[in-house]
Amino acid sequence: MAAIDNLMNLAAEAESALDANVAEVDRILHICNACRYCETFCAVFPAMTRRLDFNVADAHYLANLCHNCSACLYACQYAAPHEFGVNVPKTLAQVRRDTYVEYAFPRVLGMLYRRNGLTVAMAVSLGVAAFLIGTILLKGSVFVHGLEGEFYAIFPHNLLAVLFGSAFGFSILALSIGVARFWREVSEPGKPVPLPNALGEATRSVLTLKYLDGGHGDGCNNEDDAFTLWRRRFHHFTFYGFMLCFASTSLATLYHYLFAVEAPYPYLSLPVLLGTAGGIGLLIGPVGLFWLNLRRNPLQIDEAQRSMDRGFIALLFFVSLTGLALLVWRESAAMPLLLAVHLGFVMGFFLTLPYGKFAHGIFRCAALLKYAIEKRRPNPVQAGSE
Partner 1 sequence: MKIVIDVLVIGGGNAALCAALMAREAGASVLMLEASPKAWRGGNSQHTRNLRCMHDAPQDVLVEAYPEEEYWQDLLKVTGGETSEHLARLVIRASSNCRDWMRRHGVRFQPPLSGALHVARTNAFFMGGGKALVNAYYRSAEALGVKVRYDTPVAEILLDQDRFVGVVTEAGETIKARAGVLAAGGFESNREWLREAWGRNDRGEWPADNFLIRGTRFNQGVLLKFMMNAGADTIGDPSQGHCVAIDARAPLYDGGICTRIDCVSLGVVVNRDGERFYDEGEDFWPKRYAIWGRLVAQQPDQIGYSIIDRKVVGRFMPPVFPGVTADSLPELALKLGLPADAFMHTLNRYNNACQPGSFNHTILDDCRTEGLAPAKTHWALPIDTPPFYGYALRPGITFTYLSLKVDDTAAVRFADKPSPNLFVAGEMMAGNVLGKGYTAGVGMSIGTAFGRIAGTQAAAAALGTANPRTV
Of the candidates 29, 65, 52, 56, the one whose C-alpha atom is nearest the C-alpha of residue 367 is 65
CB-side neighbour CA atoms (13 Å) of 333: 6
**Residue nearer to partner 1 on the CB measure, 38 or 129:** 38
**Residue nearer to partner 1 on the CB measure, 99 or 222:** 222
Tell me which amino acid residue 278 is.
G
**Residue nearer to partner 1 on the CB measure, 35 or 280:** 35
**Residue nearer to partner 1 on the CB measure, 115 or 376:** 376
Q: At what angle do helices 306-328 and 107-115 cross, to 10 degrees?
A: 90
By the criterion CB under 8 A, which residues form the site for partner 1? 30-31, 33-41, 46, 49, 52, 71-72, 74-78, 80-84, 215-216, 218, 225-226, 380-386
Residue 346: C-alpha distances to residues 32, 134, 179, 328 (Å): 43, 17, 23, 18
CB of 20 to partner 1, least distance (A): 19
CB of 216 to partner 1, least distance (A): 4
**Residue nearer to partner 1 on the CB measure, 228 or 269:** 228
CB of 51 to partner 1, least distance (A): 9
CB of 41 to partner 1, least distance (A): 6
> What is d(CA 320, CA 338) in angstroms, rounded to the nearest whole number?
12
**Residue nearer to partner 1 on the CB measure, 219 or 354:** 219
Of the candidates 21, 108, 106, the one whose C-alpha atom is nearest the C-alpha of residue 66 is 21
Are the C-beta atoms of 110 and 355 separated by less than 8 Å? yes
> What is d(CA 273, CA 277) in angstroms, rounded to the nearest whole number?
6
> What is d(CA 363, CA 182) in angstroms, rounded to the nearest whole number?
8
> What is d(CA 103, CA 80) in angstroms, rounded to the nearest whole number?
32
> What is d(CA 207, CA 361) in angstroms, rounded to the nearest whole number?
11
CB of 94 to partner 1, least distance (A): 22
Strands 227-228, 220-221: parallel, antiparallel or unpaired by DSSP? antiparallel
**Residue nearer to partner 1 on the CB measure, 140 or 217:** 217
Of the candidates 90, 95, 129, the one whose C-alpha atom is nearest the C-alpha of residue 114 is 95
**Residue nearer to partner 1 on the CB measure, 11 or 299:** 299
CB of 160 to partner 1, least distance (A): 51
CB of 355 to partner 1, least distance (A): 35
CB of 30 to partner 1, least distance (A): 6
Backbone angles phi, psi at 221, to 5 degrees: -100, 145
